[in-house]
Amino acid sequence: MTDSRLLIVANRLPVTIRVNGPSVETVPSSGGIASGLGPFHRRSRGVWFGWPGDTGTTPEQRIQVDAHLGAEGFVPVHLSPAQIDGYYHGFANAVLWPLFHYSVDRMPVDPAGWSHYREVNEAFAEQVAHEYRPGDTVWVHDYHLMLLPDMLRQRLPQARIGFFLHIPFPASEVFRVLPWRREILQGLLGADLIGFHTFGYLRHFMTSLLHIDGVEPDVDRVRVGERDVTVGAFPMGIDARGFAALADDPRVRARIDALRHEAGGRRIVLGVDRLDYTKGIPRRLEAFARLFEREPALRDQIRYIQVAVPSRGEVASYQHYRSEVDETVGRMNGAFGTVQSLPIHYVHHSVTQEDLVALYGAADVMLVTPLRDGMNLVAKEFVASRTGEDGVLVLSEFAGASTELQGAITVNPYDVHAVADSIQRGLSMTADEQRARMRMLRRSVCGHDVFAWADGFLGRLHALRPHVPRGVLPPSRTLPAVLAEARQSRIRLLLDYDGTLVPIARAPELAAPDGELVRLLHQLASEPGMDVDIVSGRSRGQLERWFGHVPVALWAEHGFWRRSVGCLRWEPAMPLDSAWMVRVKPILDQFAESTPGTHVEMKTASMAWHYRSAARDFGMRQAHELRLLLGDLLSNQPLEVLEGKKVIEVRMRGVGKGLVAQRIHAETDPGVALVAIGDDRTDEELFRALPAEAITVRVGCSADGARFRIDDHRSVRRLLLSILERDPLKQRFRQAQPA
Ligand code: ADQ
């Protein structure tokens, strides 16, 4: 590991502030991330950014609080009550949390929550960027901050940024329900490394990228513009040695004895959860009901202790859930209690670490049966605390931990009969089997603790090649500023069409220019000191129909054909040779026939197979096949295979936007500013062939081979319009304002 600082960014600081008059103190807070990462943070020299909680302080006290936290390596991100309500209770916990745990029906649609979510992510980005020093590593955590990686990437293009998701990433069919699915994916892709607890979640994420964003991932990485984003599975561990040491502490041993004594010879079954609907407490209770119904003798032989730490009480669905659990416990104790005892001992508050470990140590059977859980650290804490190598863990197959913890009895938590069977099986397991299983479990939990987890993630992050943006301008020079300067001299605009001036349409014929665009191009081309070239992969006929009457130069078929302004004839870049087409066409035709939703487009100097409307995975697989086949077949020919957006094109070698750029550069006065805007790989060719001082702008997720990035065709139109508006004489063109 390098000696750079580690900046941990999570929703909460791992401590809670207590202000008592003039004195300020911090106490550790509960929750997976805090308990899991806390020890690592203490061991490192890191800085931790997070919300300190509602400190309720006066401005003077706040200065004191900040100083106190700063001394402990914490940077508080103070949030207003409205922000906490919208971002935390609203969007993170009432929208993202249920959806990512497959509770689609619990998800209300609350756009106000979204705007606060974005705002708070921005606030974090500001604070981190302010604190950041070159060489630092930033590690962002969890679903509260999924927009942050990209917001940081915009501010700190060269920073090393990691992101870890602590909850499941749901199947793409569930994720796509989220109205802001694209923004979330784009936010995450700002990171260099995205970590999940399991390969299953990783696969879901990759499938979502493909199905929702059309991004085609490799096995463990995604190309985003000019950057590679790596993804990996890093199952989180716990401070296993700390738990084991506590379990062997004489005070804790005494507590264990006391708990067993209090149980009066009854077997102890334990559940420890945050009071959250994903943890499956009502079904677990129902499983006990089934067990007590079919084995009445057990009613007096079991003491089921359920510890439920209060959680997110401000969110409505949690309030209902709490009442549901309360009622079920009451009903069951009423139904199955005996004169001697009540079978369920329900504790609705947080317990101290010592008491928690004592409970883990006293339990005969530990029940961890969430309906969905990213990992579940309670299961691992139980195992780490069983230094005597006894005890039984019953574990839900829907907890991330179940992919690792082979020695547990795994169970489907929705099947209450199966859970009842597992409890019974656990209670009657022989000491030998318990030991054999517990040894396996302990090897896994103790062999891969939270330090190994953090080292593994950070080691991988540091091993990645640092990202060096190609931009040559210092970040302070923004695109509008550079354009304004260029406007002092002549400008030649090189504009791609599809994806740049209009959105990519499902079918090429649906992407005709609207009146507003035609007007805008007219105005730009009529501007003194401005020339416009449209450089497109489209055919001559198509471009002529759309722009034949506009005073712009047209380049069709990626520049094979050129029609200058005021000229009616098209000039080819080289003599036309179409003999090769006879051999290639049948291959493309065959792929079009065997892949529903695809078609072949014949141009004069090239031919293309379009697969935008094919089923995504199938289209991609076929495209891969076709590329291999053509690569093989055409390796000795003066032809090249070009991959565009959902299209594979075969054309004569040497013809392309690179050639266009060379020709334009050669014929343009050195004093003229060249401004090129495009969205795909063919435009990259053009950017590369232009001189370094050209103003190159890539449309989409990243700058990718260009000096600047711009969001989409709407932003392009606004940008073009701003060139017109900057000239006071041209106010009359205002009516061309795009939507
Ligand atoms: P959580 O949903 O909070 O974490 P979990 O992994 O079980 O779930 O962690 C809970 C933590 O709180 C444990 O460390 C436990 O000791 C503590 N705790 C629980 N009940 C308690 C009680 N009554 N009193 C005191 N402490 C209590 C999220 C994801 C998980 C993922 C973690 C870490 O939902 O799936 O494992 O992050 O990535």
What pLDDT, in 10s, does the model give residues 538-561? 999 999 999 999 999 999 999 999
pLDDT of res. 401? 97
Task: Please give the backbone phi and psi of residue 169, each rounded to the nearest 5 degrees, phi first.
Answer: -100, 120
pLDDT higher at 35 or 73: 73
Which is nearest to 717 in space by CA: 529, 478, 488, 495? 495
**What is the mean pLDDT of the segment spanning 400-420?**
97
- In tens, the pLDDT along 88-100 reads 999 999 999 999 9
Kindly give the distance from the C-alpha atom of residue 382 to the centroid of ligand 1, in angstroms, as a whole number: 12
Termini Cα distance of the chain? 50
pLDDT of res. 318? 87
**From the CB of residue 295, how many other CB atoms can be counted at a distance below 10 Å?**
14
**What is the mean pLDDT of the segment spanning 323-341?**
89
**What is the mean pLDDT of the segment spanning 377-391?**
97
pLDDT of res. 121? 98
Choice from 376, 380, 396, 405 to test ligand 1 binding pocket (greatest atom count within 8 A of CB): 376
Which of 361-365, 484-488, 708-712 is modeled with the greatest confidence?
361-365
- CA 164 to ligand 1: nearest atom: 38
Kindly give the distance from the C-alpha atom of residue 347 to the centroid of ligand 1, in angstroms, as a whole number: 16
Tokens of 535: 């450089």
> What is the band of 20 on the pLDDT scale with cuts at 50, 70, 90?
confident
Which is nearest to 45 in space by CA: 2, 71, 6, 1? 6
pLDDT of res. 485? 84
pLDDT of res. 618? 87
322 has pLDDT over 80:
yes
Pocket lined around ligand 1, Cβ cut-off 6 Å: 30-33, 35-36, 166-167, 236, 272-274, 307, 309, 350-351, 356, 373-378, 381
- In whole numbers, what is the pLDDT of the chain averaged over residues? 89
Return the residue whose CA atom lies nearest to atom 19 of ligand 1. 273
* Gap between the Cα atoms of 579 and 673, Å rounded: 40
**What is the mean pLDDT of the segment spanning 250-265?**
96
Q: Judge contact between 205 and 167, C-beta under 8 A.
A: no
pLDDT of res. 738? 41
Minimum mean pLDDT among 25-39, 163-177, 437-451: which range? 25-39
**Burial degree of 713 (CB within 10 A; 0-12, 13-18, 19+):** buried
524 residue type, one letter: L
pLDDT of res. 283? 96
85 has pLDDT over 50:
yes
635 has pLDDT over 80:
no
Kindly give the distance from the C-alpha atom of residue 272 to the centroid of ligand 1, in angstroms, as a whole number: 9
pLDDT of res. 701? 67
Q: Judge contact between 641 and 627, C-beta under 8 A.
A: yes
> Which residue is listed with tokens 């993202």?
96
736 has pLDDT over 60:
no
Catalytic residue among 496, 531, 683, 704: 496
Q: Is 432 a catalytic residue?
A: no
pLDDT of res. 703? 67
* Gap between the Cα atoms of 693 and 674, Å rounded: 8
> Which residue is listed with tokens 């009423």?
334
**What is the mean pLDDT of the segment spanning 469-474?**
47
The model's pTM: 0.74
123 has pLDDT over 50:
yes
Kindly give the distance from the C-alpha atom of residue 491 to the centroid of ligand 1, in angstroms, as a whole number: 60
* CA-to-CA dists, residue 509 to 305, 619, 646, 702, angstroms: 66, 20, 15, 27
**What is the mean pLDDT of the segment spanning 68-85?**
91
Return the residue whose CA atom lies nearest to atom 35 of ligand 1. 374
702 has pLDDT over 70:
no
Return the residue whose CA atom lies nearest to atom 32 of ligand 1. 32
**What is the mean pLDDT of the segment spanning 21-31?**
72
Spatial CB neighbours of 258, under 8 Å, sequence gap ≥ 6:
358
pLDDT of res. 386? 98
Percent of the chain's residues with pLDDT above 90? 63
> What is the band of 67 on the pLDDT scale with cuts at 50, 70, 90?
confident
Tokens of 382: 């139980």
pLDDT of res. 728? 42
pLDDT of res. 35? 61
Return the residue whose CA atom lies nearest to atom 9 of ligand 1. 32
Q: Judge contact between 106 and 317, C-beta under 8 A.
A: yes
Minimum mean pLDDT among 18-32, 239-253, 294-308: which range? 18-32
170 has pLDDT over 90:
yes
Kindly give the distance from the C-alpha atom of residue 163 to the centroid of ligand 1, in angstroms, as a whole number: 19
- CA 279 to ligand 1: nearest atom: 2
